[in-house]
Amino acid sequence: MAAPVELTMLQLYRHILRAAKDFPSVKKHSIVREIKAEFRANQRLTDEGRVRHCRELAERGLSDLQAYTPAARGGGGGSGESSIHLKGATQ
């Protein structure tokens, strides 16, 4: 079994944006805006601990978003109205 591949921050960002665009909610556009703002606010972080913390939040957020996409649930159905609140790392 192959070891999991670690995504670069740019790849992680792109995966999160794609997952957010597929998120079954009328609020998906505001979620995408929040994700972009969060990444922009933290793009110049140099503290390794903060970078690691932000990366963990991003990976958890991606996992959460993917869990709610219709493809991950077998195609969808229902009203498609779900909500996720991603806790940001900015202060």
State how many domains the chain has: 1
Question: Would residue 89 count as lying in a domain?
Answer: no
List, in sequence order, the alpha helices (H) in the chain: 9-22, 28-42, 48-68
Q: What is the pLDDT along the chain (91 residues), one digit of tens a residue?
A: 555 678 899 999 999 999 999 888 899 999 999 999 999 999 999 999 999 999 999 999 999 999 987 665 555 444 555 555 556 655 4
Residue 19, in any domain of the structure: yes
Tell me how far apart the alpha carbons of residues 57 and 63 are, in angstroms, rounded to a whole number.
10
Q: Is residue 28 included in any domain, yes or no?
A: yes
Q: How far apart, in whole angstroms, are the C-alpha atoms of residue 2 and residue 82?
A: 34
Considering the domain boundaries, does residue 71 fall inside one? no
Is residue 17 assigned to a domain? yes
| Rounded Cα gap, residues 81 and 75, in angstroms | 14
| pTM to 2 decimal places | 0.69
- Residue 27's domain comprises 8-43
Can you give the C-alpha Rg of the chain in angstroms? 14
Single-letter code of the amino acid located at 70: P
